[in-house]
DNA sequence: CGGGAACCGGAAGGCGTCTTCCACTTCGGC
DNA sequence: GCCGAAGTGGAAGACGCCTTCCGGTTCCCG
């Protein structure tokens, strides 16, 4: 039963890496709606080559953003080490939103749900746990409002996705202002409607 | 020099209205990515009929959402009559975001920029003036933070668009929580990065 | 009630995308 | 250097969408 020949020929490996690099850049600057043909052309390979390494477009997208997700979760775990939980919390929010703003395809990939890609799901669960803990500590310091829920970060991420969908060059500045407003609100203590029952990344679409 | 026969035959007019009604409903529940064929079928007409009334899909979208925009601007102008500017401001924000959340196509139509549709642009300009005035008064009461700019509402609308892009049933609740957070932040007085130089509805995409 | 214009439905054209197929080329162990 | 397997490129298939075309039908005025 299976397993792929993890031993690629050197030229094949070079092509694969070239494709990944090109795809990463193109997805970042133009979003996910780029024809496979265009990616292949810019990578200097034929379409077939692309499809032999990544049997479907989704597979390519998943491969490209796998590491992005990894750095996302690492940001979260790093924040747990910050002696000031509130600062850690702010850093997480700012960093992740900045990543989203800098990469046009990131939001789309994030929201596109991964039918397969189990490792991603696993990472996600661990990140969610870490976030819960971080929020707990931040609340304990009194800086984070008591009725904050982790799902509010999904809210923020989706909102930020809306921002990023607009003009590319204004995205970063706009995203920063959005984050600032949110952090402002996370500290306030006025009334709020009940939290929405969203799962951290499912229940989207 | 032209002009269209504004005198449609009665059956043609009935069909036109049926198409508009169906399109409005379908766009609201499923978004703008609905094939013209589907709209025609659900309206009980052929595709040609649809295209004779609305020469292009954009034309249909514009026609469908023209009135939505109108009620948007009327909300703004009504708010100017509220003796409490801050309350008026809150009502505007809540209402418009609720409209956006209730109608899946609204955001897309709103952001899709209207190359033609001058009347819309005109209304938009008037609405922006009204908003500026409303914001001025709200600031005067001290409830609205001094560094608020009207473009922040575009920020909110785009953010809300991101929310609405997610699951349809959770959209309304999520949107409400988003608005609540924003209103919270609009009252706070912490530091904020400089406002982004977005035009009220252009400069998007 | 009759004729002509307005109107109609569905099939077909055109385009862009994802994906597959196959004859040809290149690598790398022997 | 040789040979088989792995790899390759570009054309072709499949699909879905917007839009146009045409023969038949329906309304409305006189």
For chain A, 205 residues long, give each residue's pLDDT as a single digit of tens: 444 567 899 999 999 999 999 999 999 999 999 999 999 999 999 999 999 999 999 999 999 999 888 889 999 999 999 999 999 999 999 999 999 999 999 988 887 765 555 667 788 889 999 999 999 999 999 999 999 999 999 999 999 999 999 888 899 999 999 999 999 999 988 888 888 665 444 434 3
Q: Are residues B189 and B163 in the same domain?
A: yes
Output the domain CATH number for residue B19.
1.10.10.60
- At residue A38, the pLDDT reads 98
Q: Are residues B174 and B92 in the same domain?
A: yes
Which nucleotides on chain C have any atom < 7 A from a protein Cβ?
Answer: 6-12, 16-22, 26-28
Phi and psi angles of residue B145, each rounded to the nearest 5 degrees, phi first: -60, 150
- At residue A122, the pLDDT reads 81
pLDDT in tens, A29-55: 999 999 999 999 999 999 999 999 999
pLDDT in tens, A88-108: 999 999 999 999 999 999 988
Digit-by-digit pLDDT tens for chain B (205 residues) are: 445 567 899 999 999 999 999 999 999 999 999 999 999 999 999 999 999 999 999 999 999 999 888 899 999 999 999 999 999 999 999 999 999 999 999 988 887 765 555 667 788 889 999 999 999 999 999 999 999 999 999 999 999 999 999 888 899 999 999 999 999 999 988 888 888 665 544 434 3
CB contact under 8 A, A177 and B161: no
Q: Are residues B112 and B175 in the same domain?
A: yes
- Domain range for residue B168? 58-204
Judge contact between A149 and A88, C-beta under 8 A.
Answer: no
Q: Are residues A87 and A45 in the same domain?
A: no
Question: Residue B52 CA to C8 C1' — how many Å?
Answer: 10
Q: Are residues B103 and B194 in the same domain?
A: yes
Q: Are residues B85 and B127 in the same domain?
A: yes
The pTM (predicted TM-score) of the whole model is 0.91
- At residue A113, the pLDDT reads 60
Question: Residue A57 CA to C20 C1' — how many Å?
Answer: 14
| CA–CA dist B49, B35 (Å, integer) | 15
Judge contact between A175 and A163, C-beta under 8 A.
Answer: yes
Number of H helices, E strands in chain B: 9, 0
CB contact under 8 A, B192 and A180: yes
- At residue B116, the pLDDT reads 57
User: DSSP letter string over A113-179?
Assistant: --SS-HHHHHHHHHHHHHHHHHHHHHHHTTSS-TT--THHHHHHHHHHHHHHTS-HHHHHHHHHHHH
> In terms of C-beta density within 10 A (0-12 exposed, 13-18 middle, 19 or more buried), how is residue A189 classed?
exposed
| CA–CA dist A174, A182 (Å, integer) | 12
| CA–CA dist B203, B32 (Å, integer) | 21
């Amino acid at each position: 039963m299976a397993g792929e020949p993890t031993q690629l020929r050197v030229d094949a490996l070079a092509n694969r890496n070239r494709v990944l690099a090109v795809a990463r850049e193109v997805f970042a600057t133009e979003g996910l709606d780029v024809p496979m043909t265009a990616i292949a052309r810019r990578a200097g390979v034929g379409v077939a080559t692309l499809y032999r390494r990544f049997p479907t477009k989704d597979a390519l997208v998943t491969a490209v953003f796998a590491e992005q997700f990894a750095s996302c979760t690492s940001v979260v775990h790093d924040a747990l080490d910050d002696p000031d939980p509130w600062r850690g919390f702010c850093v997480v929010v700012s960093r992740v939103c900045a990543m989203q703003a800098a990469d046009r395809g990131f939001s789309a990939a994030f929201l596109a749900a991964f039918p397969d890609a189990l490792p991603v799901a696993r990472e996600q669960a661990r990140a969610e746990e870490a976030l819960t803990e971080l929020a707990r500590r931040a609340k304990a310091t009194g800086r984070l409002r008591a009725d904050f829920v982790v799902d509010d970060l999904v809210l923020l991420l989706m909102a930020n996705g809306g921002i990023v969908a607009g003009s590319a060059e204004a995205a970063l500045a706009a995203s920063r202002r959005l984050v600032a407003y949110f952090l402002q609100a996370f500290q306030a203590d006025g009334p709020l409607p009940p939290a929405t029952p969203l799962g951290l990344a499912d229940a989207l679409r």
